């Protein structure tokens, strides 16, 4: 059944009723031609021939699409109705057609009701609610703005709505413009804002709304006029949107297809929409900031571990698809902890920033450089062979060579150790590559730092052994399976026993005795050394106190302390507490430290040594001569004793160089008022040379092996009568 217009023959009462209705009613054919209208409608719009004429906001094509929709599908629409005196009246349209698939000659009835303020308000409320919901759901900014534009256009179908982003360089970029022709949008992209840059560019420039009622005439549009008119855009009203930092971040604009000023309803709508745009924009800034925090390191600005992992996984995927290699480099700054501890964290951060700036330029744009945490950096070289990776590692190390310039500090020289793992040989996924690169990095540290090492499978086995040893050592320490042996130190001149050195002994139930040279390094690596050395110090002090009470003639005991313990523990405080607890004098204790510690010119260790010295505890430089050539520290630091390393003692009778060296060390010691002890003395010939060159003290198998406390007491009893 087709809808027909009421004919003259129809019930006059019905016609009267239709004319008097509050609604405007029109009967239109499928092409949008008006066949009939009631008086209410004619009173508003006169006698237009087509829908195009009374609703300028929609084109003919849009009308035919709406009119051909099957019954029941057409919903309501908000459209501006052009009144007889040229005003635009906001209205709501409803479509009424009959039948599932209307006949070609069927008419559609449109009921038109003017939108009152309250209805407009509620329509805007609805729009606001939907857009805020999209913001709350963290939809991408483009999606939110697109939704906003579409909803505005359905509320005010005679406008074209756009949102342009304004970048930091003051150029605009379309964010959303669903009804603007794509080619016009493309032409806007990158246009600079300015005092005469159309409505949007000028609004952004002036930081205030710009209303252009007639693009054809307004001087603001001079440069863009031809373009806009070509796309049928006749008027434009643009409002700037401010970001949190008060910079203009976007513009919200309404275009009209005919020259005209803004109607009041649009003002209300734009007010609401400008606010929505601002909320969406600021929320987007927020999300980006969160993303920056989540994916970037805030000290160096480099990618963080998370982004590194994302990119690495992506690169590995490409590599496995293409059958190409990828290299993973792990770079660890050497002795960074010392810098952090002695110069403070602010300087440490500055060091990391400067390092990051040096590393970046060594890499290609496609490579990923990230700070993985602490002083550890990761590099992914997609497509790089092992040879490429070593080349890159050399470049990175070279870039770190020149000393760093830090505000208020002396130039600081730094180096790093790099471990390299190659995909796919060294691991099929990120986790195994990282693990193996780390093993290789520790190998580089062990090899003396400031170098790069490839991962080798043998390293993995060595690591396995170290881990086993670490576990066993922990157990030994907690179950009391460690022991101290004591080796006497004698004065050459009269053969008197001046003291002894405490040396750690560990007998493993299955492995038998394990030499300190094997397990001390492991303990240093795994952080067990502090507990180990603390235990040794306590035991040695307790033993010395027992000897003192028993009247054993042993003036002092020497204890080895790892440099790591000086960095990490308050050794001086521990020593002070032990001396007091056991009733010992500070002069009875000597701490043996290696040259390594002396050369790390670090405020913390210097302070520790100074405090020990002030207490009266003696500091002895162990393995003297094996370390470095610099001797300046002997003047700066409160050292009392030098222990000539046993490697120089071994060939003393045969090697003139060793003899010269021993002579030189003794000379240095004498000049600085230090005692010189020769360690590892095994033969009478060695002893004789040492006597000739004037060495003060000796220690070695020739006089006594390291032995348990009771054995040393027995040894002392037997020696009390003998000469050296």
Q: Which is nearer to ligand C2E, 74 or 498 (CB)?
A: 498
Q: Please check whether residue 28 is in contact with residue 110, taking contact to mean a CB–CB distance below 8 angstroms.
A: yes
Closest separation in Å from C-beta 626 to Mg ion: 8
DSSP class of residue 303 equals B
Closest separation in Å from C-beta 554 to ligand C2E: 17
Q: Which is nearer to ligand C2E, 606 or 643 (CB)?
A: 643
Q: Which is nearer to ligand C2E, 38 or 560 (CB)?
A: 560
Nearest to 108 by CA among 122, 98, 100: 98
Length of the chain: 724
The contacts of residue 506 (CB under 8 Å, 6+ apart) are: 473, 476, 481, 482, 483, 513, 514, 516, 519
**How far is 534 from 577, CA to CA, in rounded Å?**
12
Strands 172-176 and 159-166: antiparallel
Both structure tokens of 514: 């394990």
Q: Which is nearer to ligand C2E, 212 or 681 (CB)?
A: 681
Find the residue with minimal CB distance to Mg ion: 592
If you compute the radius of gyration of the chain from its CA atoms, what whole number of angstroms results? Answer: 44
Q: What are phi and psi of 62, to 5 degrees?
A: -65, -40
Q: What are phi and psi of 649, to 5 degrees?
A: -85, -30
Strand-pairing partners, residue 378, are 330, 370
Contact of residue 601 among ligand C2E, Mg ion, none (CB under 5-8 Å per partner type):
none
Contact of residue 510 among ligand C2E, Mg ion, none (CB under 5-8 Å per partner type):
none
Q: Which chain residues interact with Mg ion by CB under 5 A?
A: 560, 592, 622-623, 679
Closest separation in Å from C-beta 591 to ligand C2E: 10
Contact of residue 436 among Mg ion, ligand C2E, none (CB under 5-8 Å per partner type):
none
Contact of residue 447 among ligand C2E, Mg ion, none (CB under 5-8 Å per partner type):
none
Residue 333's SS3 state is: strand
Nearest to 171 by CA among 146, 143, 200, 145: 200
**How far is 211 from 203, CA to CA, in rounded Å?**
9
Contact of residue 503 among ligand C2E, Mg ion, none (CB under 5-8 Å per partner type):
ligand C2E
Contact of residue 680 among ligand C2E, Mg ion, none (CB under 5-8 Å per partner type):
ligand C2E
Q: Which is nearer to ligand C2E, 96 or 596 (CB)?
A: 596
Contact of residue 487 among ligand C2E, Mg ion, none (CB under 5-8 Å per partner type):
ligand C2E
Closest separation in Å from C-beta 536 to ligand C2E: 4
Closest separation in Å from C-beta 457 to ligand C2E: 30
Burial of 385 (C-beta count, 10 Å sphere; 0-12/13-18/19+) = middle
Q: What are phi and psi of 77, to 5 degrees?
A: -140, 145
Residue 432: half-sphere exposure toward Cβ, Cα within 13 Å: 12
Contact of residue 515 among Mg ion, ligand C2E, none (CB under 5-8 Å per partner type):
ligand C2E
**How far is 158 from 219, CA to CA, in rounded Å?**
24
Q: Which chain residues interact with ligand C2E by CB under 6 A?
A: 487, 503-504, 515-517, 520, 533, 536, 560-562, 592, 622-623, 646, 679-682, 700-701, 706
Closest separation in Å from C-beta 297 to ligand C2E: 35
Q: Which is nearer to ligand C2E, 362 or 544 (CB)?
A: 544
Q: Which is nearer to Mg ion, 530 or 590 (CB)?
A: 590
Contact of residue 45 among Mg ion, ligand C2E, none (CB under 5-8 Å per partner type):
none
Q: Which is nearer to ligand C2E, 158 or 622 (CB)?
A: 622
Closest separation in Å from C-beta 506 to Mg ion: 16
Q: Which is nearer to Mg ion, 153 or 592 (CB)?
A: 592
Closest separation in Å from C-beta 679 to ligand C2E: 5
Q: Please check whether residue 235 is in contact with residue 218, taking contact to mean a CB–CB distance below 8 angstroms.
A: no
């Amino acid at each position: 059944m087709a809808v027909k217009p009421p004919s003259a023959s129809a019930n006059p009462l019905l016609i009267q009723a239709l004319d008097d209705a509050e609604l405007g009613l029109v009967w239109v054919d499928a092409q949008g031609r008006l066949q009939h209208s009631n008086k209410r409608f004619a009173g508003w719009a006169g006698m237009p021939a087509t829908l195009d004429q009374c609703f300028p906001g929609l084109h003919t094509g849009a009308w035919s699409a709406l009119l051909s929709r099957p019954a029941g599908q057409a919903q309501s629409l908000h459209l501006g109705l052009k009144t007889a005196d040229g005003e635009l009246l906001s209205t709501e349209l409803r479509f009424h057609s009959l039948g599932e698939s209307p006949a070609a000659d069927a008419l559609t009835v449109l009921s038109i009701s003017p939108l009152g303020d309250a209805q407009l308000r509620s329509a805007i409320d609805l729009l606001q609610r939907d857009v805020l919901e999209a913001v709350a759901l963290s939809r991408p900014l483009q999606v939110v703005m697109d939704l906003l534009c579409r909803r505005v256009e359905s509320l005010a179908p005679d406008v074209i709505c756009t949102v342009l982003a304004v970048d930091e360089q003051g150029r605009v970029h379309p964010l959303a413009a669903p009804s603007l022709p794509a080619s016009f949008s493309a032409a806007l992209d990158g246009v600079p804002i300015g005092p005469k840059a159309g409505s949007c560019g000028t609004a952004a420039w002036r930081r205030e709304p710009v209303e252009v009622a007639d693009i054809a005439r307004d001087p603001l549009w001079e440069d863009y006029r031809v373009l806009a008119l070509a796309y049928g855009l006749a008027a434009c009203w643009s409002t700037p949107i401010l970001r949190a930092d008060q910079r203009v971040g976007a513009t919200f604009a309404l275009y009209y297809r005919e020259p005209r000023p803004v109607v009041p309803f649009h003002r209300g709508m734009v007010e609401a929409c400008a606010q929505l745009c601002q909320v969406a924009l600021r929320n987007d800034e927020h999300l980006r900031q969160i993303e920056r925090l989540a994916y970037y390191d805030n000290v160096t600005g480099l990618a963080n571990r998370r982004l590194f992992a994302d990119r690495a996984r992506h690169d590995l995927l490409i590599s496995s698809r293409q059958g190409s290699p990828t290299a993973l480099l792990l770079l660890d700054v050497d002795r960074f902890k010392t810098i952090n501890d002695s110069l403070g964290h602010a300087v440490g951060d500055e060091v990391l920033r400067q390092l990051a700036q040096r590393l970046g330029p060594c890499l290609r744009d496609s490579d990923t450089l990230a700070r993985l945490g602490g002083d550890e950096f990761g590099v992914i070289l997609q497509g790089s062979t092992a040879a490429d990776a070593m080349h890159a590692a050399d470049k990175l190390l070279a870039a770190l060579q020149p000393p760093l310039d830090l505000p208020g500090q002396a130039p600081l020289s730094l180096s790093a150790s790099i471990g390299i793992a190659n995909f796919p040989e060294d691991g099929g996924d990120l986790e195994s590559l990282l693990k193996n690169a780390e093993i290789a990095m520790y190998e580089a540290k062990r090899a003396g730092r400031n170098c790069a090492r490839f991962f080798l499978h043998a390293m993995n086995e060595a690591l396995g052994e170290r881990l086993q040893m670490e576990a066993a050592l922990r157990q030994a320490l907690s179950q009391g399976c460690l022991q101290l042996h004591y080796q006497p130190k004698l004065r050459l001149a009269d053969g008197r026993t001046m003291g002894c050195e405490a040396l750690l002994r560990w007998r493993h139930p299955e492995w038998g005795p394990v030499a300190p040279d094997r397990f001390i390094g492991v303990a240093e690596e795994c952080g067990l050394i502090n507990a180990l050395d603390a235990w040794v110090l306590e035991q040695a002090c307790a033993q010395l106190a027992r000897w003192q009470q028993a009247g054993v003639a042993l003036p002092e005991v020497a204890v080895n302390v790892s440099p790591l313990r000086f960095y990490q523990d308050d050794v001086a405080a521990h020593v002070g507490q032990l001396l007091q607890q056991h009733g010992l004098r500070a002069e009875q204790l000597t701490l043996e430290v290696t040259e390594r510690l002396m050369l790390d010119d670090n405020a913390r260790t210097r302070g520790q040594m100074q405090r020990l010295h002030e207490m009266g505890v003696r500091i002895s430089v162990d393995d003297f001569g094996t370390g470095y050539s610099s001797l300046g520290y002997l003047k700066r630091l409160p050292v009392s004793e030098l222990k000539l390393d046993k490697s120089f003692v071994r060939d003393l009778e045969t090697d003139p160089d060793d003899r010269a060296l021993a002579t030189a060390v003794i000379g240095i010691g004498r000049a600085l008022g230090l005692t010189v002890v020769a360690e590892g003395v095994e033969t009478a010939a060695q002893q004789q040379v040492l006597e000739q060159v004037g060495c003060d003290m000796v220690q070695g198998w020739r006089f006594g092996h390291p032995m348990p406390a009771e054995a040393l007491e027995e040894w002392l009893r037997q020696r009390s009568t003998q000469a050296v």
